[in-house]
Chains A and B, each alone.
Chain A
């Protein structure tokens, strides 16, 4: 596998175990998003892959080579930092040129003024000019080559950081929340450009973010991390519709998935506060029932709830409600046309859902199997 191979990496800072044996493979040409709440260890893992931090245990392979003991500069990996980390005293062109110059020229050739006169330097410099220009063109930086970072906007600086990363054509790209410092509108546009650049390069890309929508829209596979371990690694569709852990289900999806405490009775039926929900559990005990906001509909019968407020989003509505018996807050996502028939705030109504889309999680948060009462879309 000529991509990134992370094997059982562990890391501790002082008395905190930050990474607990994490393993992950990113194939060449694959875009894997590493997502999780702040402090879950994703940035640490990335820095270990880059070589800026050392792991306590485990191994890293890049492009088929074991790089665990190698310096960052020798790993054939490029990184885009959250703060871009551009050299403030160099122009855009010089910034992009740095990784090439450090590799292709020896110390003598890198001396200012006279270095360029030494044998071999002229050819190397010429080739580097071409590479720099190509990278700058790919990111639309042609007109800015002579500016300094202080004279650029946030979006422009970000492109320079990207250009500096791609100019070397490395085997692996590491990106540490590169979009988090941009305005919302710029983010959406830049997202696509990053994916395009990734596709053109054919490298393995590991992309760290705390924004789950970025992860879902950009990645081939999504790795959800929490508390120093990977909870699930799967395609965006599978992560969304088929989460294996309650933490994955609640982290992915906006607004947050609805969760209700439930229980499998002695008779095998699953009930929420005594109300059967048309599902069977394997053995008696407490459960969590999770259902996405777009899968809940208001109806005349079903789970009792009290409407609280309505939020109009333009393309949809959010109806906030409360399940009295368990004191749980719920959110329903409805099409705008439903406005006419919404229950008024404070009014009682009922909820129904498609049992095939319900998710059940056991007491430790692992997904458990579910069987529906019948093939029907709703229950009574």
Chain B
């Protein structure tokens, strides 16, 4: 583009009052200061803490190298927490993605009620998570909850959803799917509307008679980037699960719903073992980074067609 080349070769038509560099730094200064104070330093501090045995209120602390991490590996509580988090992510991710895609296709398939249904499914995203967790507690209550009331009427059992270690993770995952569906739905809707209509017409003329053929030939390939983005976002949101656990189960019964962030919270702010908690935080960070790396390196190329 010759214009860009020209403006670089010739002096700028309008001079800035200060030098350009000074102006840029001045404009960015507040952000940079906040970044240093609130992001960089604390992160470095966390990394440092992870290698100490610092406890709040203790007089001193010692560098203990990798001892915290060794403790994690031998701590059954932590391993349970890690395992639960992985199971939770493994349930919520496919559930909320497949559900959102199916609903998005249904909504896009016709013209009636698009705005209405989109609002209905998006409601959980703008609802106070804690409040809705309380509502779920009522809904899933073993004795007075409407869900079990309905199941009793149908003659099926009345499981203790949130208070039984065999069903608690499933219940939390169901709530997690409910929470994430709307967000993913909106992203899929945006992706679907971006597909050029003419591709569908071409597919029809080429002989794709059924909706399934058109889905495979046009919709699914063109949704590639969106799907990948939704996948990453959902996994990261799922791994961050905290609110429902804090409100509903506090990690119980018997650590059956203990998750990574709640363990980190407990160790850090209930037991004040900040060093250990920092180590857990680093594990959490590593998982998140691994997920993002997966997106960029492995899948990104396959999904963008130029």
Q: Hey, which bits of chain B sit against chain A, CB under 8 A?
A: 196, 198-199, 201-209, 213, 217-218, 221-222, 224, 305-306
Contacts and interface: CB of A to CB of B under 8 A. Distances in A.
A87 B207 contact: no
Given A102-B207, A164-B206, 17 more contacts: A52-B204, A52-B205, A72-B201, A72-B204, A72-B207, A73-B206, A73-B207, A78-B205, A81-B201, A82-B198, A85-B198, A87-B202, A88-B221, A88-B305, A89-B222, A102-B213, A103-B207
A347 B305 CA distance: 62
Nearest to B303: A89
A51 interface: yes
A151 interface: yes
A73 B222 contact: no
A63 interface: no
A170 B218 CA distance: 23
Interface residues of A, number: 28
30 contacts: A47-B201, A50-B201, A51-B205, A71-B204, A72-B201, A72-B204, A72-B205, A73-B208, A73-B209, A78-B205, A79-B202, A81-B198, A83-B196, A85-B199, A87-B217, A88-B222, A89-B222, A89-B224, A98-B206, A98-B217, A99-B205, A99-B207, A102-B206, A102-B207, A102-B213, A103-B207, A148-B305, A150-B305, A151-B306, A164-B206
Contacts of A77: 205
A298 interface: no
A36 interface: no
Interface string A168-199: 00000000000000000000000000000000
Contacts of A88: 221-222, 305-306
Contacts of A72: 201, 204-205, 207
Nearest to B198: A85
Contacts of B204: 51-52, 71-73
A41 interface: no
B206 A99 contact: yes
B302 to A, nearest CB: 10
Contacts of A79: 201-202, 205
Nearest to A174: B205
A149 interface: yes
Contact of B201 (A52, A78, A87, A150): A52
Contacts of B196: 83, 85
Interface in A339-374: none
A51 B198 CA distance: 13
Contacts of B202: 79, 81, 85-87
A90 B12 CA distance: 46
Contact of B209 (A71, A85, A150, A164): A71
